Structure 1
Amino acid sequence: MNIAYICTEKLPSPAVKGGAIQLMIDGISPFIVKTHHLTIFSITDPSLPMNEMTNGIEYIRFPKETYEQDVANTLRNRTFDVIHVFNRPARVSQYKEAAQESAIVLSLHNDMFSPLKIAKEKAEQALKDTSILTSVSNYIKQTVRKRYDVPEEKIRVIYSGVDGSQFIPVWTEEGKQTRNEIRQMLGLKDEKVILFIGRLSKTKGPHVLLRAMRKVLSRHPNAVLVIAGGRWFSENSWDDYVRELHRLAIPFGNHIRFTNYVPAWQVPHLLLSADVFVCSSQWHEPLARVHYEAMAAGIPIITTNRGGNAEIVQHKKTGFVIDDYANPSAFAEAIHYMLVHESEAEAMARRSRAEVEEKFLFSHVAERLMAVYEEAAKKRCLY
């Protein structure tokens, strides 16, 4: 089949500036091009050419200012069996009008059918123009079905994944060696490392972790909270919230470390420095991909019962799930539990890694998507 991927207007592809969608595309594309022709549309970036053919994948890039219209114009002059639109239902009908013979697959990575993001009439038209929808979690799937009369079978949950070869479990000899090297680079020795990786935004909740540290340190005086991330993807500028985080960190001195933005290729190694990874999401998280990464690295996970997070992290089986997500004491207790019950935490981490190998590799994601593409091509928007 001839398949087109249409990325969002936020970040370029490949993931030179990160982004969950772009990282997933990077991971699945090598498997897709083994049997199909793949063209990827994305915005331009100074580090990337406007057009290129790399590893059998055709990349076409347009300026952000005219991106959607440029893509639509190109679709009128190209023939695709399936067009996969990433996370932009508001653009589906524009692309469908330009490529009427193509089947549309729409993947949802956030609550994009919220009335705050798309008008009812436009949403209904997008659903009509789409052959099959996929979502990154059952939570996102249900946000659509609660608002619109969409058949159960029209929306498929396709969880994301990782490249297992990039994530070496911490209990392996290579993992142990890398752990020691990274901890040395961070100026860490025998400290208990609590790791946060994510954008520095209120919705991600690092401020709650900072407020939890007083209680954590009263029980674990050698604990260190490492906060890895920038205000936005690949950006380390400060806003009022980032300034507030640094203000909250002052009383704890060297027990708080900010690393700024960490490129995606460094994340597998950074994870190995941790004794426990914490996702402190305060919003209805669709399902943060960093969960898959921590699971693959074999790091014990604490997450919040928000959005889709708890769909892949099972409480006290593959991690620790916090219901009282806005309460710093709840995080302090969860961190204490993981640090004290080391053998139990390691057992959770090993089960997590096993789940990744069984279900959450990019090869699994690509296989599930290819089945969707084949079905969509046959349907040709019968709904």
Structure 2
Amino acid sequence: MNIAYICTEKLPSPAVKGGAIQLMIDGIAPFIAKAHHLTIFSITDPSLPMNEVTNGIEYIRFPKETYEQDVANALTKRTFDVIHVFNRPARVSQYKEAAPQSAIVLSLHNDMFSPLKITKEKAEQALKDSTMLTTVSNYIKQTVRKRYDVPEEKIRVIYSGVDEKIFVPVWTEEGQQKRNEIRKILGIKDEKVILFIGRLSKTKGPHVLLRAMRTVLSRYRNAVLVIAGGRWFSENSWDDYVRELHRLAMPFGNRVLFTNYVPAQQIPHLLLSADVFVCSSQWHEPLARVHYEAMAAGIPMITTNRGGNAEIIQHKKTGFVIDDYANPAAFAEAIHYMLVHESEAQAMARRARTEVEEKFFFSHVAERLMAVYEEAAKKRCLY
């Protein structure tokens, strides 16, 4: 089949500036391209050419300012069996009009059918023009079906994954070597490392972790909280919230480390430095890809019961799930549990790694998506 991917207008592909969608595309594209001809549309970036073919994948890039219209124009000049639109239901009808003979697969990585993001009229038209829908979690699937009458057979949950070649578990010889190297870079020796990776935004909750640190340090004087991330993907500028985080961290001195933005290729190594990884999401998280990454690295994980997070992290089986997500004391207790029950935490981490090996490598994701593409191609004339 001839397949087109239409990335969002936020970040370029490949993921030279990060982004969960772009990282997923990077991971699955080689597998899709082995079986089909794949063209990826994305915005331009100074580090990337306007057009290129790399490893059999064609990349076509347009300026951000005219991106959607440029893509629509390009679709009128090419023939695609399947067009995969990433996370932009409001643009589906525009692309369908440009390529009426193509099947449209719309994947949802956030609650994009919220009335705050799309009108009822546009949403209904997008659903009509989409041959199939995929969602990154059952939570996102249900946000659509609660608002609109979407047949069960038209929507699939496609969980994301990781690259098996770059995520090695911490208990391997290579994992231990990388752990020692990154700890040396961070200036950490025998400390208990509590790691946060994510954008520095209130929705991600690093402020709650900082407020939990007083209790954590009263129990573990050698604990260190490492906060890895920038205000917005590859940006390290400060806003009022980032300033507040540094204010909260000040009393703890060198017990809190800010790394700023960490490029995606360094995340697998950074994870290996941790004794506990914490996803402190305060919002209805669709299902943050960092869950798959921590699971793949074999790091004991704490997350919040928000959105889709608990769909792949089972409480006290593959991680620790916090219900009282806004309460710093709940995080302090969860961290204490994972550190004091070390053998149990390690068993959770090993079970989590096994789940990744069985279900959450990018090869698995690509297989699930190719099944959707084949189904969409068969039924494209029905919607």
TM range (shorter): over 0.9
> Aligned partners of 1:294 and 1:124: how far apart in 2?
37
Q: Does 1:177 align with 2:177?
A: yes
Q: Secondary structure at the match of 1:277?
A: strand
Q: Distance in 2 between matches of 1:15 and 1:243?
A: 28
Q: Hey, what does 2:363 align to over in structure 1?
A: 363
Deviations 1:299-358 (A, max 9, x none): 000000000000000000000000000000000000000000000000000000000000
Q: Which residue of 2 aligns with 1:309?
A: 309
| Amino-acid identity (%) | 90
Q: Which amino acid aligns with 1:258?
A: F
Change (3 A) 1:308 1:381: farther
Amino acid at match of 1:360: F
Which position in structure 1 is the counterpart of 2:2? 2
Which residues of structure 2 form unaligned runs of 5+?
A: none
Q: Deviations over 1:149-208 (max 9, x none)?
A: 001111100000001110111001111111111101100000000000000000000000
* SS at 1:34 equivalent: helix
Q: Partner letter of residue 82 of structure 1? A: V
Letter in 2 for 1:330: A
Which residue of structure 1 aligns with residue 242 of structure 2? 242
RMSD: 0.5
Offset, 1:76: 0.5
- 8 Å contact 1:104–1:132 — kept in the other structure? yes
Corresponding letter in the other structure for 2:378: K
Query: What does 1:1-383 correspond to in 2, within 5 Å?
Result: 1-383=1-383
Aligned partner letter, 2:201: S
Q: Give the letter for the 2:18 counterpart.
A: G
CA displacement 1:63-103 (0-9 Å, x = unmatched)? 00000000000000100000000000000000000000000
CA distance in 1, matches of 2:324, 2:140: 21
- For the residues of structure 2 that align with 1:311 and 1:165, how far apart are their CA atoms? 25
Contact 1:104/1:381 (CA < 8 Å) preserved in 2? no
- Residues 170, 298 of structure 1: 8 Å contact kept: yes
Q: Following the alignment from structure 1 to structure 2, what is the Cα–Cα distance between the partners of residues 346 and 179?
A: 16
Q: Residue 381 of structure 1: CA displacement?
A: 4.5
Provide the secondary structure at the position in 2 that maps to 1:115.
coil
TM-score by length of 2: 1.00
| Stretch of structure 1 that moved more, 171-180 or 276-285 | 171-180
Partners of 1:177 and 1:116 lie apart in 2 by 47
- Deviation of 1:4 (Å): 0.1
Contact 1:40 1:60 in 2 (8 A): yes
Q: Which amino acid aligns with 2:331?
A: F
Which deviations, in whole Å up to 9, do the C-alpha atoms of 1:90-122 show, x marking residues without a partner?
A: 000000000000000000000000000000010
Q: Is the 8 A contact 1:13 1:42 kept in 2?
A: yes
The whole-number CA distance in structure 1 between the counterparts of 2:63 and 2:100 is: 24
In structure 2, C-alpha distance between the alignment counterparts of 1:265 and 1:201, rounded to whole Å: 22
Letter in 2 for 1:70: D
1:180 partner amino acid: N
Aligned counterparts of 2:373 and 2:104: Cα–Cα separation in 1 = 9
Provide the secondary structure at the position in 2 that maps to 1:68: helix
Aligned residues, how many?
383
What is the alpha-carbon distance in structure 2 between the residues aligned to residue 344 and residue 325 of structure 1? 22
Matched residue type, 2:325 = Y
